[in-house]
């Protein structure tokens, strides 16, 4: 694990001033878009990724300051690394208001073409990683009597992927759907909300694993990482009286 420490509180003002968000998979794609959006609103950011170089590039490209951001490099399924990183974030910022589980992997293949290694790696990152992160963060939210966990899911966690396409990924997202519902019920008495965002086709690096060739017109009709960030922003800023248990984002112009 590698961390970048900070010294003083941020001076940025906005909707999320005095809030702290932990985002996994923050080196690019949806994770980076979320970090950019929340950071622009004054949120202090705890950014996790397994890609140290990518995380450093994101930090530099976004122009963040050490006053606002703390980074950690580790596998999201590495319990010891996750617990140490979360404890370090709470020590630094005093709390974690939001946990947004984004980190994920996707590999093509069906039951006859998915290796044991790919299967294990996919479920470890996409499902076990969400569990490990939630288990590390929720005790602090429970103690505070407040907090919000958002899990990124997929339409392939609600219906099967095309035969032979992305079996392990689909199964992992079915697991995320169950985990999100279970966490929501368990955390409700603590004052903590848990929501899932179910994603249709998103124009990120994951698209390379979609079956078939994509036309420029199809790419233009996909959701963008910024679209996902907008939806997450809406969920996080919703009234405490409301619980957006699940938001499903459709690429409705897709043909």
Beta bridge partners of 98: 21, 148
Is residue 169 part of the annotated active site? The answer reads: yes
**Extended beta strands in 186-241, E state:** 192-199
Which residue, 255, 228, 9, 240, is CA-closest to 146?
240
Across the beta sheet with 69-73, what order do the strands follow? 2-4, 69-73, 44-49, 20-24, 98-101, 147-154, 192-199, 246-249
Phi, psi torsion values for 27, nearest 5 degrees: -80, -10
CB-side exposure of 79: number of CA atoms within 13 Å? 4
Q: Which residue in the block uniquely carries the two structure tokens 């368990």?
A: 186
Phi/psi at 250 (5° precision): -95, 135
Q: Which of 98, 130, 140, 169 is catalytic?
A: 169
SS3 for 23? Answer: strand
Q: Which of these, 136, 135, 133, 181, lies nearest to 157 by C-alpha position?
A: 181
Q: Which residues are catalytically annotated? A: 169
């Amino acid at each position: 694990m590698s961390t970048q420490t900070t010294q003083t509180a941020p001076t940025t003002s906005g909707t999320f001033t005095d809030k702290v968000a932990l985002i996994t998979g923050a080196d690019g794609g949806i994770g980076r878009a979320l970090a950019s959006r929340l950071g622009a609103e004054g949120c202090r950011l705890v950014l996790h990724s397994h890609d140290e170089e990518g995380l450093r590039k994101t930090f530099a490209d976004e122009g963040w300051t050490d006053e606002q951001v703390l980074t950690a490099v580790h596998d999201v399924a590495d319990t010891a690394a996750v617990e140490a990183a979360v404890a370090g974030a709470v020590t630094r910022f005093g709390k974690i208001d939001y946990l947004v589980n984004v980190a994920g992997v996707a590999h093509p293949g069906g039951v006859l073409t998915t290796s044991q290694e790919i299967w294990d790696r996919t479920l470890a990152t996409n499902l076990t990683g969400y569990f490990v992160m939630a288990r590390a963060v929720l005790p602090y939210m429970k103690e505070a009597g407040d907090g919000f966990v958002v899990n990124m899911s997929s339409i392939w966690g609600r219906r099967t992927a095309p035969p032979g396409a992305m079996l392990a990924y689909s199964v992992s997202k079915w697991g995320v759907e169950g985990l999100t519902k279970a966490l929501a019920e368990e955390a409700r008495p603590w004052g903590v909300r848990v929501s899932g965002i179910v994603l249709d086709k998103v124009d990120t690096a994951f698209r390379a694993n979609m079956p078939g060739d994509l036309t420029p017109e199809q790419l233009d009709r996909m959701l963008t990482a910024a679209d996902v960030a907008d939806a997450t922003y809406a969920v996080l800023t919703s009234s405490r009286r409301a619980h957006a248990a699940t938001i499903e984002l459709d690429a409705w112009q897709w043909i």
